[in-house]
Amino acid sequence: MASQTLTRIKFIFKYPYTKLISIRFKTTSAEYVASRARDPTFDKLMKNYNNYLKVVSVQDLLLADTTNNSSISLHFLSKLSQKLHLNHGASSFLRKYPHIFNLFYNHSKSEPFYKLTDKALQISREEAAAIEASKPIVIERLVRILSMSVSKSLPLRAVFKVWRELGLPDGFEELIISQNPKLFSLSDAPNEPNTHIIKLESINPNFITAVENWREDECNKKDSKVDESQIRFAFKQGYPPGMKLGKVFRGKVKEWQTLSYVGPYDQMGEKRKPKAGVKALEKRAVGIVHEFLSLTVEKMIEVEKISHFRKWFGIDLNIRDLFLDHPGIFYLSTKGKTHTVFLREAFERGCLIEPNPVYIARRKLLDLVIMSRRGLFLTQSDTRNIRAREEVELTGDDDD
């Protein structure tokens, strides 16, 4: 039985475009995920990013607090350790990132507190300023995502899931939706209590997708020998290092690249059932998620989050399998508790090729997370911080 499973996995890996539907029911999703070609650059980035997300959760608690000069007691944070996935306790987590958090002893309350360092506080202000400055871009992102929906509408809860990924401001329901009534409307969903629907009121039929811009750039390059007809329906491809690209595999990809499909912003006609129609529907799904990822701040998203849009985008395929079927376009990382998909072409050596202001601010915080305890210089300020930490340790902390 084990040898049969291994054979199926090898077959899928070698011929990912051959009889996918007939193979899937024989192979579990977990086996298919395990059989994918790994990319250490993305996996390493995701490992650091998981720690970054924990830091952001703790940081958000501080930024939301206005009662104690943006500081919170260690005892309070310790109560939230399990919810925030601080596996080794709150105190241990804070000490791991001295460039971000400053532990100190609050003599008036006789207990340890923590706050953001000046450097981390400055980065949070830069991100807030970048989000505020990018409101016109964010509005267009929301319009584009609604435009990809079959009904030009989406449940508010689905957008809430990805508000950070889209660079939406906190409280975007009031700041973006309510302030643009000519573009958006908000209503209750029929037959669904406590469900609100965002609807697009003004449709732009002239949106150009990210992949269309890439095709145009390829044709307009100096000394380019690319024929526009050759890449009219193609997507940029780039594979994990060490992935074997056999002759059959390359042939299937070449055939798929020339297959016509309905774009993400184009009206979808009647779904076709013949084999060519099924492939075209799959390629349309690739086009939709490719465009969705290109609209995110960091060109990455949790698979579970984007799955909330599947029905609304008219995608009848398994989203996770779609990413695995196209390793030259997407990379699926399983580092951490969730699966995350990256848009391969947007990255080079773990960084965005074309960074935006919000990404730049977030990347600065990620760099501090990666530094962890490294790079501490014993200036007068740093010495005071170290003494404060020692004072906290002397008072005792049973969470470490």
Tens of pLDDT, residue by residue over 227-263, are 788 899 999 999 999 898 899 999 999 999 999 999 9
Q: Residue 7 above 70 pLDDT?
A: no
Name the token pair of 201. Answer: 């009121």
Q: Residue 146 above 80 pLDDT?
A: yes
Q: What is the pTM of this model?
A: 0.84
Cβ contacts of 347 within 8 Å, gap of 6 or more:
41, 42, 299, 353
Q: Residue 65 above 80 pLDDT?
A: no
How high is the pLDDT of residue 384?
55
How high is the pLDDT of residue 205?
77
Q: Residue 187 above 60 pLDDT?
A: yes
Sign of the four-CA dihedral 311, 317, 323, 329: negative
Residue 238 contacts residue 345 (beta carbons within 8 Å): yes
Amino acid at 272: R
Neighbours of 245 (CB within 10 A): 13
Q: Residue 392 above 80 pLDDT?
A: no
Q: How far apart, in whole angstroms, are the C-alpha atoms of residue 289 and residue 281?
A: 13
How high is the pLDDT of residue 46?
95
Q: Residue 342 above 80 pLDDT?
A: yes
**pLDDT band, residue 163 (cuts 50/70/90):** very high
The least confident of 21-35, 56-70, 253-267 is 21-35
**pLDDT band, residue 265 (cuts 50/70/90):** very high
Read off the pLDDT of residues 291-331 as tens digits, 9 standing for 90 and up: 999 999 999 999 999 999 999 999 999 999 999 999 999 99
Higher local confidence (pLDDT), 53 or 390: 53
Q: Residue 28 above 80 pLDDT?
A: no
Mean pLDDT taken over the chain: 86
**Percentage of residues of the chain with pLDDT beyond 70:** 84
How high is the pLDDT of residue 388?
52
**pLDDT band, residue 55 (cuts 50/70/90):** very high
How high is the pLDDT of residue 201?
94
Q: How far apart, in whole angstroms, are the C-alpha atoms of residue 394 and residue 396?
A: 5
How high is the pLDDT of residue 6?
47
List for the chain the helix, strand, coil content (%; round to 5): 50, 10, 40
**pLDDT band, residue 381 (cuts 50/70/90):** low
Q: How far apart, in whole angstroms, are the C-alpha atoms of residue 231 and residue 228?
A: 6
Higher local confidence (pLDDT), 68 or 237: 237
Cα distance between the two ends of the chain? 46
Tell me the CA distances in angstroms from 397 to 36, 111, 271, 312, one per residue in order. Answer: 44, 10, 62, 49
The length of the chain in residues reads 400
Nearest 5°: the CA angle 254, 257, 262 is 155
**pLDDT band, residue 267 (cuts 50/70/90):** confident
Q: Residue 204 above 90 pLDDT?
A: no
Higher local confidence (pLDDT), 8 or 196: 196
Instruction: Work out whether strand 71-73 and strand 111-116 pair parallel, antiparallel, or are unpaired.
Output: antiparallel
Which of 138, 140, 145 has the alpha carbon at shortest distance from 313?
145
The least confident of 66-75, 130-139, 354-363 is 66-75
Which of 100, 75, 102 has the alpha carbon at shortest distance from 89?
75
Residue 399 contacts residue 89 (beta carbons within 8 Å): yes
Q: Residue 394 above 50 pLDDT?
A: no
How high is the pLDDT of residue 12?
46
**pLDDT band, residue 222 (cuts 50/70/90):** confident
- Calculate the CA 155 to chain-centre distance: 19
Q: Residue 398 above 90 pLDDT?
A: no
The least confident of 14-18, 41-45, 74-78, 349-353 is 14-18
**Percentage of residues of the chain with pLDDT beyond 90:** 66
